[in-house]
Copies of this chain bind each other. A is one copy, B any other.
Amino acid sequence: MKFARNAQSLDASYIREILSAANQPEMISMAGGLPASSLLPVELVRATCESLADNSHLFQYGNSQGFGPLLDTLQRSSKTQNPWLICNGSQQALDLIARALLEPGDQVIAEMPAYLGALQVFQLSGIKVCPLMSSTSGPDLDQLESYLKGGNIKLFYSVPDFHNPTGRVWSTETRIAVAKLCRHYGVTLVEDAPYRELRFAGEQLDTVSEHCPELSISLKSFSKIGFPGLRVGAMSGPADFIAVAERIKQATDLHTGIPQQAMIEALLNHPEFSEHLTRLRQGYQSRYQHLSDALQQQLGDLVQFDTVEGGMFVWLTLTQGNSSDVAARALQHKLAVVPGAAFYPADMALENSALRLNFSNTEPALFPEAVNRLAQALQPMALTA
């Protein structure tokens, strides 16, 4: 068979290969973006699961926009009147956005390094990604404005809270400035916020969308605070956009399944949901602290990293060596981590000194051993010893 151009160019994800290797026995994996399996809130949906078969109407066809009680729950917690659309995870929201708003050859802005899943969506739709450099306080505003001034930008894909892979959080000033720029140039802002609720230190900031709701599309993930395995997410945005996205959703898979939406609705409305979030944040803070301590104690000057106040990732910069080589050697030492180069478009190799370390899916007690393996990988001579 002959394949479509964009489909053929879609690389098998490097992360996916690492995740496959990560299933080997004895492997410690800090490669994925998985929530802690031991903290999945299954008890909060036990009653819903147990009563599913008594509610056979949940197994019949449903509406493309979503399951009514879940839509109502999301609307109640919204700061705007923008409608919601339920998707198969926020990953599908990205794909629906691309198909609703972008033509092949269109240009979008994305912070670099970037969430690989977003890059894949853009690649699949034949979209050109303009790389936006960022620092600890957020994206480079001068570079952003220079792109916007060019006039050919259709949207800005952003992850302002605990960015994947860097863990960075935009400052309040940056949020306000970005909203103002998007308004001035009439460019759509996509705010992807899967890690926003995972703040374990510092103060929660306004979303960027709150400062420009009329041209913002907000993504909601239940994979980090709930259950990734159900594949339920959502997005809200201007009504005309959601109407078009809903028609695309209908054409692509009719609707997201109902029992899984009922489980998410039950989770969000469970009286112990906020306790679960507290437990989750504490669990991730503890994991982060164990990792941070081990990195400082065992690796010292070999690496640098900014502290994080939430999310799932530490962005580790090596003071020497090539991070792709180090990641490959780490696999031999039974440690899976992702080299920075994986978070750039294939034709844009801007990074060879960083590693992304996930801390949410590793039990705290394992971090000293994990970092010990990383230390071994950082010393190539040790391999031949």
Chain A: residues with CB nearer than 8 A to chain B?
1-8, 10-13, 16, 32, 34-35, 37, 40, 42-43, 45-46, 49-50, 52-53, 56-62, 64, 87-89, 91-92, 95, 99-104, 117, 120-121, 123-124, 188, 215, 223, 227-232, 238, 240-241, 244, 247-248, 250-260, 263
Q: Return chain B residues, CB-CB under 8 Å to A6.
A: 99
Q: Return chain B residues, CB-CB under 8 Å to A35.
A: 60
Query: Which applies to chain A's interface (DSSP): helix, strand, loop or mixed?
Result: helix
A to B CB contacts below 8 Å, 22 in the list: A3-B100, A4-B99, A4-B100, A4-B101, A7-B100, A7-B101, A10-B244, A10-B248, A32-B61, A42-B52, A50-B53, A59-B229, A60-B229, A91-B251, A91-B253, A91-B254, A95-B252, A117-B251, A120-B251, A121-B252, A231-B256, A259-B259
Inter-chain CA distance A227–B42, complex, in Å, is 23
Q: How many copies does the complex hold?
A: 2
Of A52, A100, A188, A252, most B-chain CB atoms within 10 Å: A252
Q: Which residue of the partner chain, among B103, B121, B229, contacts A61 with CB atoms under 8 Å?
A: B229
Inter-chain CA distance A124–B246, complex, in Å, is 13
The answer to whether A7 and B247 have CB atoms under 8 Å apart is yes
Q: Which residue of the partner chain, among B2, B16, B56, B260, contacts A250 with CB atoms under 8 Å?
A: B16
Given known contacts A4-B99, A5-B103, A99-B124, what 12 new A-B pairs fall within 8 Å (CB)?
A1-B188, A1-B215, A7-B101, A7-B244, A60-B228, A88-B253, A91-B251, A91-B252, A91-B253, A229-B258, A231-B257, A259-B259
